[in-house]
Structures are given as C-alpha cells and as structure tokens.
C-alpha cells in the first residue's frame, strides 16, 4: 500500500464492520504509517524450527529420518514447503539448483556478476517470485560463508556444502560476509519498492566481496 491507500484504510480500521477481523500482513513493517501501526495489534510470525519440521515430517508424513532432516534444513522454517518437496522431487531439484548458482556466483568476477544482474533485471517483472527465491539462496550461501569464516561451521544451514565453501570463507572475514548479506537485503528491499531491478542488482553486485574458487589451493601449491 502506498501512503494514499494507507490513509484511506484508516476509517475502516477505526470502525470495522461487525463480526470482521482485519489482518494486515507485511514483511516491511517500517513502511507502514504510524497512524496504521497505532491502530493495530502487532503479532510477529516466525518460521518453525528445523527440529520441529523434521519431527512433523517423520511423525505425520512417515518421512525417512535422513529425508526429513534434509528437507528440514532446506525448508527455512516453512513446513508447507517441506511437505510439498517431500511429494515432488522437482521442488528440491530447483532449490538445489538455486544454491549451486549462488555458490558459483560467490566466486564469479564482476563481468559475470553484471551479466547475471542484467538477465535477472530483464525478467524481474515477469518472474518476481523467482528473483526473490534466487536472492534468498544467495543470502543462505553468504550466511554459511560467514559462519565458516567465524569458525562456526556446525551452525551452517547447508552442512553438506561446508567443504566446498571453506576455500571461499578463507578469503572472507566476517565483516565482509555481513556486508554481502546487507547488500542482498538492501537489494530485496529496493526491488519491493519498485526500484530499477537491474540497477538495484548491479549495486548489490558491487558490494559482494570478490572471491576466487581455488585461492587456497593455489596458495598451497605455491608453497
């Protein structure tokens, strides 16, 4: 809702119809006017824990333990996604493909990154959900890089990728990884506010640390 729309909603919020409960859902609370926020009760929603999703998959849908654990890690707190993925392998394949691309981009040069930004920006209006899913995968990869750089690889979401991410984390300190996560989050916010998709994504690419996939190996061979 823009400011005009929010102002038009005030009357309804102050005098709602009988037997009606109005639920406003947003992931950008700061974009709501103070007059809106003062007239509603804030109810925060969060995703389910990984353990809870794994337990439900095993007890209610009879998922194998290994399968339940894998889906729970990939679900990012979304039980519905995990259930869908359990019954449709293509959902998992698409998710893994996004993570593969995100990991490759972490060690790509600026030219390749700008090409990706141009391609994604060009199709953003036709595939907003796909773009947001891609950005989410980038966030997850950079978060795992940050955790590995901090020596907390046991907390990584994608533990099966720790070995392949370790050479990247060795080149990236925690503040640099945090900067990458902030840049991706800023790009997602700018896209939600209808900024130029290509420009928003290019600005994000400039903030991502430049890493090399084989830097650690090259350094060891040089010794």
Question: Measuring CA to CA, how many Å separate 183 from each of 45, 78, 115, 201?
Answer: 24, 24, 18, 9
Q: What are the pLDDT digits (tens) for 56-83?
A: 999 999 999 999 999 998 898 999 999 9
| pLDDT class of 17 with cuts at 50, 70, 90 | confident
Would you tell me the crossing angle of helices 197-207 and 110-123 to the nearest 10 degrees? 150
Average pLDDT over residues 9-14: 91
Average pLDDT over residues 129-156: 95
- Of 98, 122, 105, the closest CA to residue 180 belongs to 105
Residue 25 or 215, more confident: 25
- DSSP one-letter string for 10-73: HHHHHSPPTT-------S-GGGS-HHHHTTS------PPPHHHHHHHHHHHS---HHHHHHHHH
Among 42-51, 111-120, 130-139, 172-181, whose mean pLDDT is lowest? 42-51
């Amino acid at each position: 809702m823009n400011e005009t729309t929010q102002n038009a909603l005030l009357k309804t919020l102050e005098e709602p119809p009988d037997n009606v409960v109005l639920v406003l859902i947003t992931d950008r609370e700061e974009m709501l006017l103070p007059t809106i926020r003062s007239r509603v009760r804030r109810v925060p929603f969060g995703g389910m824990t990984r353990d809870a999703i794994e337990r439900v998959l095993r007890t209610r849908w009879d998922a194998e333990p290994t399968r339940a654990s894998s889906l729970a890690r990939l679900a990012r707190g979304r039980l519905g996604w995990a259930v869908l993925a359990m019954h449709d392998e293509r959902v998992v394949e698409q998710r893994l493909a996004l993570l593969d691309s995100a990991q490759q981009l972490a060690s790509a040069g600026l030219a390749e990154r700008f090409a990706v930004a141009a391609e994604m920006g060009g199709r953003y209006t036709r595939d907003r959900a796909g773009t947001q899913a891609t950005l989410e995968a980038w966030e997850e990869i950079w978060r795992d890089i940050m955790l590995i750089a901090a020596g907390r690889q046991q907390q990584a979401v994608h533990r099966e990728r720790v070995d392949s991410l370790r050479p990247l984390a060795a080149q990236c300190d925690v503040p640099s990884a945090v900067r990458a996560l902030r840049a991706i989050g800023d790009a997602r916010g700018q896209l939600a506010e209808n900024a130029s998709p290509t420009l928003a994504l290019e600005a994000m690419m400039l903030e991502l640390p430049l890493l090399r996939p084989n830097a650690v190996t090259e350094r060891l061979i040089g010794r």
